[in-house]
Chain A
Amino acid sequence: MLFNSFVFWGFFAAVLLLYRWLPHRSQNHMLLVASYIFYGYWDYRFLSLILLSTAVDYVAAKAVASSQHQGERRTWLVVSIATNLGILGFFKYWGFFTAEADALLQAMGFNSALPVLNIILPIGISFYTFQSMSYTIDVYRGQTKPAGRFLDFALYVSFFPQLVAGPIERSSRLLPQILQPRTVDRQAFHEGLYLIISGLFRKVVVADNMAPIVNSIFSRPTSELTAAEVMIGVYAFAFQIYGDFSGYSNIAKGIARWLGFDLMWNFRNPYFAISPSDFWRRWHISLSTWLRDYLYIALGGNRGGRLMTFRNLMLTMTLGGLWHGAAWNFVVWGVYHGLLLIGYRIAGLDGGDSTSTNKMSQFKRVLLIVLMFHLICFSWLLFRADSMEQITGMLATAGGGLGWTPFVTYSATMLLLFAGPLLVLDYVTERKNDLYYPIRTSGTTQIGMFAYMMLTLIIFPPPATQEFIYFQF
């Protein structure tokens, strides 16, 4: 059930109608049933995985909280982490690691007989296992109290707006909202409306119209491409993935807002970042903060000196890359981001918080934004390519003559028409330092903005509906 489908909006209308009539506890029960229907609509068989993860973490967290013995607490924590990582590892990484091990053994002259299984990847598995696992860790760390009722906790794990592609919510933020009665006032409705319409615009108008261009360039042999085509393919993918994922996150936040919840922001104008660490404060914030809190800091963070910090950064980013998918290009993508973070630190360019950037000259700031955008674009080439051969082939092509073709003119105009307005919107919210700024403007401006988005949503959907890219993770 995609957010950009009529089926979902019919489903959500029914949920919303029921929701308004029910008292708080029944609302939670209904939301849980709705969440399971939402997930089961893809493949009901994988509901058992969510239930397993939910049950284990509920029991483990209770045991951690009630136990007085550190050893026992640790054992329950290990049970929770092992279960979640076990589910994730089997469904997401088994095929990759067995295939790689098989190839390695064969290269070494052994006749390998590793069981290579063709496993279907359950949708959203990386998101809900991380969310569920963080709960047990937080209870272990004493940062959150265990949920009293199983059904409340089950709703925390499976809350449908953010179940399949995040944001990965922390229990300290989402569980209290589940436990407390919720209200939807005019402000919440207005914010929800903006988030939903702008999210659909990002997904349907921007991302999905970039998809055919990206697919065309990345499906052609690299020898048939010119440097300009490679560049336009990468720029188009930069806006495809941004529109796709930020669109999903906005819609998720918007529909949750209409249910009285307030989910975290997952994106803050990431292409206006001036450094890698600034980028990770703006891109997929729920994952980057998760990795920071549960991996980077657990590894020692920046407490062990410069070299240890670099090691921890590299490990965190490599595993972050692997989180996205079981393929070498994701590993390389993670390593590249680790190197960027380290490189900027060594060069002393990584002090980009809001205070220091306010003092920075406008020219330098623009220069850093443009540089960072292109470094990120390079990472998208690593991310999107189907193989390492394609990466090297495209890089070799990009190093040749520009080769401006009519297809580049076509693609660049499409990019300008569809991604341009998104960039303008981001620029305005960046300048005002307020992601809700568009709904604080005059009625005329808002009517114009909403009418533009609605009309383009109706008129400019792509010929073929595209799934959300992050569903595969």
Chain B
Amino acid sequence: METLKATINTTYAAVISATTALARFLRTQNPGYILAAVLLILLTAELGLRTIESSLSGNVRHITEFKTQFADLRSTTPEPETKTLVAVGNSLVNNALNAPMLAELTRAHVPADVQVIKATPDATFGWDWWCLIRNQITNHHKHVGEHLLLGFAWDHLTDQRPPNASRMGAFFCEPADFAPLIQLGMTDHSKLAEFWVGRFSRLYAHRETIRSRLLDAFVPEYREYTRALNAAGQETTPQRHHPDYTYNLLSSKLSLLAASQINVTIIAMPTVTPYEVDANLIKTIIDNGAQFIDLRRLPVNEADHYLDPIHLNDQGAEIFTKYLAEALH
């Protein structure tokens, strides 16, 4: 009984003392304590976000899924009769390519069990794809896949398309990529800093997703108008031909893939608004031993086959996949 009393007293004193300390702390005006508490809140938010990361958006889930698929493929011995075709791109390719259908159509030409894996995260371009190919497909003792399809439109493959450095640091690149990226032309100091901030802070790397989800809940018509307001510079805006476009990133990608003996096909994707394909781009593709397929002008129309001016719907995807399969063989 006495022991219990003593324990209760000790516990009571400890609780009172902790509460008093907390109350004193919360009344403090010491900037050091305040800053420490704010940093603790940010750290908690960061850790919390990391635990629910996959459920944040379909895009993040897709990135996690294809990374797992690639890791699994690397860790197992491939069946000799299985051929893997990897499709890289952004939402253009994701919407346009019907993976099971392409696998089925390819089986008719290839005496093997064909699987098609899509690595097509939203709003990614040349810089993201360089890291993705280097780290997920070629930069390991065992590469992934025998054939790579890379879909693009407008200036997606140029060195001039600005990198989203925080996203690259967080999802697609490794620290070892930093120096080669600088050599390839990512020299903007802000971008280099963003790369590392994105690498260490998911809160920062996911900011656009979190922003969209929060504002979507509070602001009427948020998505529609934000998309319209930010149209300039986004993938929805056809880019004018730039006389100084260069393709060092693409050459580097094709060299990496050639060293891993992966066949490459670059595809000009269909869109409602037509765009030009730079002659230098085609030359770069051919000089590096890759194949170029031009699918810009398919028998599709805006009303029946597009979700919006750039993304094909399911019917459009079937037509695209059919033409792609024919062009591949």
Could you tell me which A residues sit within 8 Å of B by CB distance?
Answer: 5-7, 10, 186, 189-190, 193, 212-213, 215-216, 406-407, 409-411, 413-414, 417, 439-440, 442-444, 446-447, 450-451, 454-455, 458-461, 463-464
Please state if B197 and A459 are interface contacts (CB–CB under 8 Å). Answer: no
Smallest CB–CB gap between B221 and chain A, Å?
5
Q: Establish whether residues B25 and A455, one from each chain, have CB atoms under 8 Å apart when the complex forms.
A: no
Whether the Cβ atoms of B211 and A460 lie closer than 8 Å is yes
Are B225 and A407 in contact (CB-based, < 8 A)?
yes
Task: Please determine whether A459 and B211 come into contact, CB atoms closer than 8 angstroms.
Answer: yes
Do A443 and B218 have beta carbons less than 8 Å apart? no
Contact of A6 with B38 at beta-carbon distance under 8 Å, contacts A213-B229, A443-B26, A460-B211 already known: no
Residues from chain A with a CB closer than 8 A to the CB of B41 are: 447, 451, 455
Residues of chain B lying within 8 A (CB to CB) of residue A443:
25-30, 33-34, 37
B178 interfacial contact with A, CB 8 Å? no
Q: Which of B35, B208, B214 has the most CB of A within 10 A?
A: B35
Q: Mark B16-30, 1 if CB is under 8 A from A, else 0.
A: 000000000111111
Q: How many angstroms from the CA of A193 to the CA of B226 in the assembled complex? A: 32
Measured CB to CB, the residues of B under 8 A from A are: 25-35, 37-38, 41-42, 45, 189-190, 193-194, 197, 201, 203-204, 207-208, 210-211, 214-215, 218-222, 225-226, 228-230, 233
Contact B29 A451 (CB under 8 A): no
Q: What's the nearest-Cβ distance from chain A to residue B203, in Å?
A: 5
Asked whether B220 lies within 8 Å of A409 as measured between CB atoms, the reply is: yes
Interface pair A458/B203, CB less than 8 Å apart: yes
Q: Are B26 and A442 in contact (CB under 8 A)?
A: yes
Which residue of A has the minimal Cβ distance to B230?
A: A463
Contact check, A413 vs B219: say whether CB atoms are below 8 A apart. Answer: yes
Q: What are 9 contact pairs spanning A and B, CB under 8 A?
A: A212-B229, A413-B218, A443-B25, A443-B26, A443-B33, A451-B41, A451-B42, A455-B45, A459-B211
Point out the residue from B31, B204, B233 that lies within 8 Å of A464, measured CB to CB: B233
- How far is B214's CA from A6's CA once the two chains are assembled, in angstroms? 25
Q: Which residues of B contact A455 (CB under 8 A)?
A: 41-42, 45
In the bound complex, residues from chain A placing their C-beta under 8 Å from that of B226 are 212, 463
Query: Within 8 Å CB of A446, what residues of B?
Result: 29, 34
- The answer to whether B221 and A459 touch across the interface, beta carbons within 8 angstroms, is no
Least CB distance, A61 to chain B, in whole angstroms: 38
Which of chain A's residues have a CB closer than 8 A to the CB of B204?
A: 458
> Would A417 and B208 be within 8 Å (CB), given that A186-B30, A446-B34, A454-B42 are in contact?
no
Cβ contact within 8 Å between A190 and B229: no
Contact of A190 among B29, B218, B219 (CB under 8 A): B29
Partner of B220, one of A413, A450, A460, A464: A413
List B contacts of A407 (CB < 8 A): 221, 225
Whether A414 touches B219, Cβ cut-off 8 Å, given contacts A443-B27, A446-B34, A455-B45, is yes
Q: A7-B190, A447-B41 are in contact. Are A406 and B31 (CB under 8 A)?
A: no
> Which residues of chain A have C-beta atoms less than 8 A from B189's C-beta?
6-7, 10
Which residues of the other chain, A, contact B197 by a CB distance below 8 angstroms?
6
In the complex, the answer to whether B220 meets A410 with C-beta atoms within 8 Å is yes
Q: For residue B35, which residue of chain A has the nearest CB?
A: A193
Using known A-B contacts A7-B190, A450-B34, A451-B41, determine if residue A410 contacts B29 with beta carbons closer than 8 Å. no
Residue of A nearest to B34 (CB): A446
Whose C-beta in chain B lies nearest to the C-beta of A462?
A: B230
Which listed residue, B194, B215, B218, B233, touches A6 by the CB 8 Å rule? B194
**Interface SS of chain B:** helix
Which residues of B lie under 8 Å from residue A458 when comparing CB positions? 42, 201, 203-204, 207
Consensus secondary structure, chain A interface: helix
Are the CB atoms of B218 and A5 closer together than 8 Å? no
Set B31, B201, B218: member contacting A417, Cβ < 8 A: B218
The winner among B35, B38, B207, B210 for most chain A CB atoms within 10 A is: B38
- B191: shortest Cβ distance to chain A, in Å? 9
Identify which of B32, B42, B225 gathers the most chain A CB atoms within 10 Å of its CB: B225
- Which of A6, A406, A414, A459 sits near B207, CB closer than 8 Å? A459
How far apart are the CA atoms of A285 and B42 in the complex, in Å? 35
A447, B38: Cβ atoms closer than 8 Å: yes
CB distance from B233 to the nearest CB of A (A): 7
- Bound complex: CA A302 to CA B19 (Å): 62
Contacts of B34 in A (CB 8 A): 443, 446-447, 450
- Let me know if B203 and A459 touch, CB within 8 A: yes
* Distance of A442 Cα from B30 Cα, bound (Å): 10
The 7 closest A-B pairs by CB, nearest first: A6-B193, A190-B31, A212-B229, A443-B28, A444-B26, A7-B189, A450-B38
Which of chain B's residues has its CB closest to A4's CB?
A: B190
CA distance A442 to B37 in the complex (A): 13
Question: Knowing A410-B220, A417-B219, A459-B211 touch, does A447 contact B29 (C-beta < 8 A)?
Answer: no
Within the complex, which residue of B190, B210, B222, B230 is in contact with A410, where a contact is CB–CB below 8 Å?
A: B222
A446 to B32, CA, bound (A): 12
Nearest CB in chain B: distance from A445 CB, A: 9
Residue ID in chain B nearest A450 by CB atoms:
B38
Q: Which residue of A lies closest to B203 (CB)?
A: A458
Question: Which residues of the other chain, A, contact B203 by a CB distance below 8 angstroms?
Answer: 458-459
Residues in A neighbouring B25, C-beta threshold 8 A: 443
Determine which residue in B33, B34, B197, B215 has the highest number of CB atoms from chain A within 10 A of its CB, and name it.
B34
The complex places the Cα of A447 from the Cα of B34 at a distance, in Å, of 6
Q: Which residue from chain B places its CB closest to the CB of A405 in the assembled complex?
A: B221
Minimal Cβ-Cβ distance residue in A for B219:
A413
In the assembled complex, the Cα of A5 lies from the Cα of B190 at a distance in Å of 7
Q: Which residues of B contact A440 (CB under 8 A)?
A: 29
Give the nearest-CB partner of B210 in chain A.
Answer: A459
Chain A residue with Cβ nearest B192: A6
Which residues from chain A contact B38 at a C-beta distance below 8 Å?
447, 450-451, 454
Known contacts A7-B193, A413-B218; is A193 also within 8 Å of B31 by CB?
A: yes
Cα of A292 to Cα of B190 in the assembled complex, Å: 40
What's the least CB distance linking A239 to chain B, in Å?
16
A169 to chain B, nearest CB (A): 25
**What's the minimum C-beta distance from B23 to chain A, rounded to whole angstroms?**
9
**Given A216-B228, A451-B42, A460-B207, 11 other A-B residues pairs in contact with their CB atoms under 8 A:** A7-B189, A212-B229, A417-B218, A443-B27, A446-B29, A446-B34, A447-B41, A450-B35, A451-B41, A458-B203, A463-B226
